[in-house]
Amino acid sequence: MCLAIPGQIVELASDGHLAIVDVSKVRRTINVDLLEPPPVPGEWVLIHVGFAMSRISGDQAAEQLRLLAMLGEDAQAMAELDGYRFADRVEGGSS
């Protein structure tokens, strides 16, 4: 429930709400409305239920990934990222 997944911002979507993040070399789309000002490419964030919750450092991101592995929650974290469906419409454009 309190799973927080570290990701690096790759690019912001044109609608201003979404961004593409890189988590362990996997790219997924998240919502960035909870961060002000919006994050910029290269910045690291903690992701929770599809939203960037807070900014963190690159070191802290590496630490958080290791922690998820130590807690046995790394597979669950990747399943969560894979499970986000809300971005399909934006990426698909027309649907």
Q: E strand or H helix at 89, and its extent?
A: helix 88-92
Q: Counting contacts by CB under 8 A, is residue 4 touching another protein?
A: yes
Q: Counting contacts by CB under 8 A, is residue 85 touching another protein?
A: yes
User: What residue has token string 């799973």?
Assistant: 3
Q: How far apart are CA 67 and CA 71, in angstroms?
A: 6
Q: Counting contacts by CB under 8 A, is residue 57 touching another protein?
A: yes
Binding region for another protein (CB under 8 A) = 1-2, 4, 17, 31, 33-36, 46, 48-51, 53-54, 56-57, 60, 63, 66-67, 69-73, 80-81, 83-86, 88-89
